[in-house]
Structure 1
């Protein structure tokens, strides 16, 4: 990949889109992870206003520390970047008092995890409206179009997606030349939705390099019978998640009414 040219291309795309939309810049949710670090840096390079939001909800200390390290570095290098911290923990706890928490614990935990993401989306759009900004998404290609590893109308609710055509490995390539802090580069990817430091691999059952391999195999029209052992297992994980999460990737289905019924 021609990394520097890719950076230039994304930055120009972001700036052109914002100027055409007649907005002031971008708002980005900062998590302490690689995707939000790269996205916020790309937005900063446009020279337009960039608001970085920390939105902790019982956040793991390691995530908070990495996010703050990134923000300090970003603000030191770009005078168009500002940041705010909105602690959503009280909001989340109040929400829990108003809904039923009955049911299988794993299902309740997942519903609450997705609620965290949706509370953050609401906060991003609040500030976007307040300051005339666009919400910049932080999803990469394998998450958004491979396994659907994001929350519908949560971190999937954005105005534009600057890195959604980049695999996770390619995001790391950009991170290197964008001087993303080493602590973020080395950290295990995590969605941070459960209040602990569990990694994406813990949840998915496969690493991003493995998932990228599986995505390529699907594109080459390979089938499960072509593989054995770990490769077969990873291929099955990818196919299962890709199928289960199509509802996130495809347009919302619309019930089309026949013209004769409208007359």
Structure 2
């Protein structure tokens, strides 16, 4: 990958999109992870206003520390970057108190994790509405179009996606090119939506390198029977998640009414 040219391309794309949409800049959540760090740096490089929002909900201390370090890094290098912290932990707890108890339901943990992501999305759009900003997405290609590892109308609820055509390894290349903090580059990826903070690999069952491999093999038309051992296991994981999450990966289906039924 021609990293410097890719960076310039994304920065110009972001700036052109915002200018043509008559918007004032960008807003995004800063998690302490590599994807939000890269996207925020790319937005900052446009010269347009970039609002970085910390939105902790029972967040692990290490994630909060990395997020704060990254925001400090951005503000040292870009005068157009500002930041806010909105602690949604009380809001999340109030939500749990407001809905009927469902402790015995096996889907409760995931439903609450997705609720966290959707509360954060609502917060970002609040600030976007106040200031005329675009909500910048932080999903990469493997997450958004491979295994659908994001929350529908949560971190998937955005106005534009700067890195959604980049594999995770390419996001790391850009992070190193931008000289982002080593703590962020070396951090184990996690969505931060569960109290025990499992890694993405623990949740998915495969690493991003493995998923990239599977995505490429799938694009080439390979079948499960083409592989054996760990490769076959990873390919099965990829295919299972890709199929199960088509409702997130594809546009919302619209029921088209035949013309003769409307007349």
TM-score, length-normalised on structure 2? 0.98
Aligned to 1:66: 66
1:127-156: per-residue Cα shift (whole Å, max 9, x none)? 000011000000000000000000000000
Indicate the residue corresponding to 1:7 in structure 2: 7
Is the contact made by 1:62 and 1:197 (CA closer than 8 Å) also made in structure 2?
Answer: no
Asked if residue 42 in structure 1 is aligned to residue 42 in structure 2, the reply is: yes
Equivalence for 2:116: 116
Runs (4+) off by over 3 Å: 103-106
**Distance in 2 (alpha carbons) for counterparts of 1:106 and 1:8:** 46
8 A contact 1:137–1:155 mirrored in 2 = yes
- CA gap of 1:73–1:18, structure 2 versus 1, over 3 A, is same
> Could you say which residue in structure 2 is the equivalent of 1:92?
92
The 8 Å contact of residues 23 and 133 in structure 1, kept in 2 or not, is answered as yes
Q: Distance in 2 between matches of 1:161 and 1:175?
A: 17
Which residue does 1:165 correspond to in 2? 165
Structure 2 equivalent of residue 144 of structure 1: 144
For residue 252 of structure 1, give the secondary structure of its aligned residue in structure 2.
Answer: coil
Q: How does 1:1-263 map to 2 (within 5 A)?
A: 1-102=1-102, 104-263=104-263
1:78-99 alpha-carbon deviations (Å, 9 max, x no partner): 0100000000000000000111
Q: CA deviation at 1:103?
A: 5.3
Any idea what SS the aligned residue of 1:134 has? strand
- Unpaired runs of 5+ residues, structure 1, are none
Contact 1:137 1:159 survives alignment (8 Å): yes
User: Residues of 2 paired with 1:54 and 1:105: CA distance?
Assistant: 31
Give 1:28 shift: 1.0
What is the Cα deviation at residue 104 of structure 1? 4.0
CA distance in 1, matches of 2:251, 2:234: 27
Count of paired positions: 263
Determine helix, strand or coil for the equivalent of 1:149. Answer: coil
Deviates more, 1:139-148 or 1:187-196: 187-196
The CA distance in 1 between the partners of 2:58 and 2:242, in whole Å, is 30
Q: Which structure 2 residue ranges, 5 or more long, are not aligned?
A: none
